[in-house]
Each structure stands twice: as structure tokens, then as C-alpha cells.
């Protein structure tokens, strides 16, 4: 997992380096500033608990006006909300993901839309329980080391310029992915989002906020 | 123009018949598809075994029955009552422990005490669209039971039905024990 994460970072850096040569400036680097925070603020109410999500971005313009490419590699580690009424009351997850989007921007208003492929490699740990009123409950454990999901993500974003270098991006995103194999449904899939009760076809959407810094 | 008016009316009538018949058959087809598409998830809780008692005289009185290691013995009061209210043949359901691969029951009769230890292999796994399920298998060891009863015969079947049909499906009987007192 660590090796793969390092590999993705190297890829990201090299793509960024070559992008600066091939494509026109400016180049933006960004990071998601919202994901994971509610899980620390409302650990008992939010659908994930104490979840670390690191999602950096690189965005550079293509030679066509109003067109750009966004590349991101992310990491998420945490656990889902505890629900004692379920057979699997909570899940622990850890995963890395890679996303790319081809983006088009409106030239008059700062609204952009993007769509592109994504894939995620994640691991899940959980305990399941069988009620045993006579002899006591049985608790078993389940560990899915590496689960692969691949699909696409689309978004609509609004860019708010803070100053010459910094901008905030508010976006609505939707991801759809396929996860081969008959494994227990993940409560949260890193890179995709809330996927409770979805085992093979994963679909999730949400809002997010990203902070971008203009490099050149 | 080779089509006459009676032929046209007949074909129209046929079409109407076909349409109305289809309309009636559609819910039936839907039920068949749904039933045949059903999956038996099996039990997702503590399992029970069926113990068939064969006794030669109906005067044998059971004072109490209990299971070793059970946290709650309440369920066995009902089994004791049912045993004493029945005649020669009787089948009772007894819970088995999911925490170990064997369960021991102690039967305290008026003038004797018998024990019955059942061996089995627990099988926990994930089943698509069902969640985690529990089933049992024949034990890996050679003996399937230990008892002071005169004769004990244990049969093992899956707790999950093989196929769900209109009549309820096949299999899914679980563990059954024949005890001769």
C-alpha cells in the first residue's frame, strides 16, 4: 500500500513536471479542505468517524482555451459510524485512490465542469456478530486486504478567487464505480464516498471545498 | 385487398384474447420469477437442533434439562414441559452454541441422569445479498456424539435451503438427532 502510494506521488510529480513543459501556464496545486473534518467534529453523528482524508490536486491548462486537466491522488483512513442494530456494526477502512478529470471552464462566470476516470485500492476490516441468546453472542472478524474499484467521477465547481495566488473551489461531485467480487458492502469507499449497502456497483455524491494555489 | 371483414374481426378478437390472457398471466409470471429468483439466506442467529425422542414407556418424567455453558437456561423450561406433556414420540428444538464446536445437554429424569454431547463444525461465511451466515458441517472427528442414552443417531444437513421453490424448497434441515431413551 505504501509503495503504491509513493508510486502515485512520483507519477503525479512527473506528470506535473512534464505538463509544465507541454502545456501552457498557469499550474495550480490544491488540497481538499473539508473531507474528513466533520468526522472529527461530529464523530457520533457523521457517517464516518475520525477519518483522515488527504486529497491533493494538480491542475494545469491545456492549449485549448478554457480546457484544463486535473490530477489527484488521495489517501483515506478511518472507520464508519457505529450502528449496533446491524450485523456489522462498524467498518475500518484504508485506501489510496487516483483521479483524473478533463475540465472545461466557462470564460465569463467562474464555473467549471469536469469528468474523468478514477480507481481506488482499499482494505476493509470489520467484526460481525450473531446473536446468541442462550450461549452468548458470537463475534467473528473479516478482513479484505485489497479491494479494487474503478469508475468515473464528474463534478461541477465554482471558483472563488481569494487573492492573486489563492482560490477556493466549491464543488458538487458524483462518482460511480464497479468493484469486482462478492465481498461485504463497504460503508465508505476511499475515493468514492458513502457506499453503505452497495456491494458491486458503487455510487456516491457530495459537496466539497478545495483550496488552490497558483504556482506560475 | 385479400383481407375480408370477418377475417379482420377474427384476428382482432384473437389479438384481444391474447392481450387479456397475457394481462392475467403477467402477475403469475412475475410471482414465478420472483420465487425462483429467491435466495435462502439461512439462519443468521443461534442455530437449533431437532432432537427426536423415542421412548418405550410414556411414564418417564423429566425433572429438568439444561445445557453446559448456557447463559440463559429459560428456554429449557419449555422443553421440559413439552417433554412431560407428550406421549411416546416427540421432537424438541434445542439451541446449540456458536462459540464452540460442541454442545452438551444434561437431562435429569426422576430416577436417572443422562447426558448428550453433540459435535459439529461451525461454518461462518459471507453470502452475497445476505450478509454473514452461519451453517454447520459434520465434525472432522470420527464420533458425532457422546451420550449415556441407549441409542443416538445424528444426521447432518445444511441449514441453508438448496433451492427455494413454490413448495418451500429443498434441504435446510440442519442437524437432527434421534435419541432412544
pLDDT digits (tens, 9 = 90+) for A87-123: 999 999 999 999 999 999 998 899 999 999 999 999 9
pLDDT digits (tens, 9 = 90+) for A66-88: 899 999 999 999 999 999 889 99
Please judge whether B132 and A140 are an interchain contact, meaning their C-beta atoms are less than 8 angstroms apart: yes
A135 vs B44, B70, B129: nearest CB:
B70
Name chain B contacts of A88, Cβ cutoff 8 Å.
131-132
Q: Are strands B113-119 and B102-109 parallel, antiparallel or unpaired?
A: antiparallel
Please list the pLDDT of chain B residue by residue as tens digits (181 residues).
445 666 665 665 666 556 666 666 777 666 555 555 567 788 888 999 999 998 876 678 899 999 999 999 988 999 999 998 887 788 999 999 999 999 999 999 998 999 999 999 999 999 988 899 999 999 988 899 999 999 999 999 999 887 776 667 778 889 999 999 8
Q: Distance of alpha carbon A183 from its chain centroid, rounded?
A: 20
Q: State the virtual CA torsion across A190, A194, A195, A197 in degrees, nearest 10.
A: 140
Comparing alpha-carbon positions, the chain B residue that sits nearest to A198 is B129
Name chain B contacts of A142, Cβ cutoff 8 Å.
126, 132
ipTM over 0.90: no
Name chain A contacts of B128, Cβ cutoff 8 Å.
182, 199
Provide the shortest C-alpha distance from residue B95 to chain A (in Å): 7
pTM of the shown model:
0.78
Please judge whether B131 and A132 are an interchain contact, meaning their C-beta atoms are less than 8 angstroms apart: no
Q: Are A23 and A36 in contact (CB under 8 A)?
A: no
B102: β partners: B119
The C-alpha cell that represents B39 in the structure block? 435466495
Please calculate the CA angle B138-B142-B144 and round it to the nearest 5 degrees.
50
DSSP string, A35-47: TTHHHHHSTTTSS
The C-alpha cell that represents A17 in the structure block? 513536471
Amino acid at each position: 500500500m505504501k509503495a503504491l502510494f509513493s508510486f502515485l506521488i512520483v507519477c503525479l510529480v512527473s506528470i506535473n513536471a512534464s505538463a509544465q513543459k507541454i502545456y501552457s501556464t498557469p499550474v495550480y496545486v490544491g488540497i481538499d479542505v473539508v473531507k474528513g473534518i466533520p468526522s472529527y467534529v461530529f464523530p457520533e453523528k457523521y457517517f464516518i468517524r475520525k477519518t483522515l482524508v488527504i486529497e491533493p490536486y494538480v491542475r494545469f491548462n491545456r492549449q485549448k482555451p478554457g480546457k484544463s486537466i486535473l490530477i489527484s491522488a488521495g489517501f483515506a483512513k478511518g472507520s464508519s459510524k457505529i450502528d449496533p442494530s446491524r450485523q456489522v456494526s462498524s467498518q475500518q477502512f484504508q485506501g489510496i485512490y487516483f483521479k483524473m478529470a478533463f475540465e472545461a471552464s466557462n470564460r465569463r462566470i467562474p464555473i467549471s465542469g469536469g469528468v474523468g476516470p478514477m480507481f481506488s485500492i482499499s482494505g476493509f476490516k470489520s467484526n460481525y456478530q450473531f446473536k446468541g441468546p442462550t450461549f452468548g453472542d458470537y463475534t467473528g472478524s473479516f478482513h479484505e486486504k485489497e479491494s479494487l474499484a474503478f469508475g468515473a467521477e464528474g463534478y461541477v465547481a465554482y471558483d472563488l478567487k481569494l487573492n492573486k495566488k489563492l482560490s477556493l473551489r466549491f464543488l458538487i461531485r458524483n462518482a460511480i464505480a464497479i468493484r469486482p467480487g462478492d465481498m461485504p458492502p463497504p460503508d465508505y469507499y476511499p475515493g468514492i464516498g458513502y457506499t453503505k449497502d452497495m456491494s458491486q456497483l458503487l455510487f456516491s455524491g457530495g459537496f466539497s471545498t478545495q483550496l488552490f494555489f497558483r504556482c506560475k | 385487398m385479400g383481407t375480408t371483414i370477418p377475417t379482420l374481426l377474427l384476428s382482432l378478437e384473437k389479438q384481444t384474447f391474447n392481450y387479456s390472457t397475457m394481462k392475467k398471466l403477467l402477475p403469475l409470471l412475475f410471482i414465478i420469477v420472483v420465487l425462483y429468483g429467491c435466495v435462502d439466506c439461512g439462519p443468521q442467529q443461534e442455530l437449533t437442533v431437532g432432537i427426536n425422542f423415542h421412548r418405550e414407556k410414556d411414564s418417564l418424567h423429566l425433572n429438568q434439562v439444561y445445557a453446559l455453558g448456557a447463559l440463559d437456561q429459560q428456554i429449557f423450561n419449555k422443553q421440559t414441559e413439552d417433554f412431560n406433556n407428550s406421549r411416546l414420540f416427540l421432537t424438541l428444538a434445542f439451541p446449540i452454541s456458536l462459540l464452540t464446536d460442541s454442545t452438551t445437554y444434561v437431562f435429569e429424569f426422576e430416577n436417572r441422569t443422562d447426558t448428550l454431547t453433540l459435535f459439529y463444525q461451525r461454518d461462518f461465511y459471507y453470502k452475497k445479498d445476505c450478509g454473514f451466515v452461519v451453517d454447520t458441517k459434520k465434525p472432522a472427528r470420527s464420533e458425532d456424539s457422546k451420550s449415556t442414552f441407549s441409542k443416538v443417531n445424528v444426521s447432518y444437513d445444511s441449514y441453508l435451503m438448496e433451492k427455494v421453490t413454490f413448495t418451500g424448497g429443498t434441504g435446510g434441515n440442519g442437524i437432527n438427532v434421534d435419541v432412544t431413551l
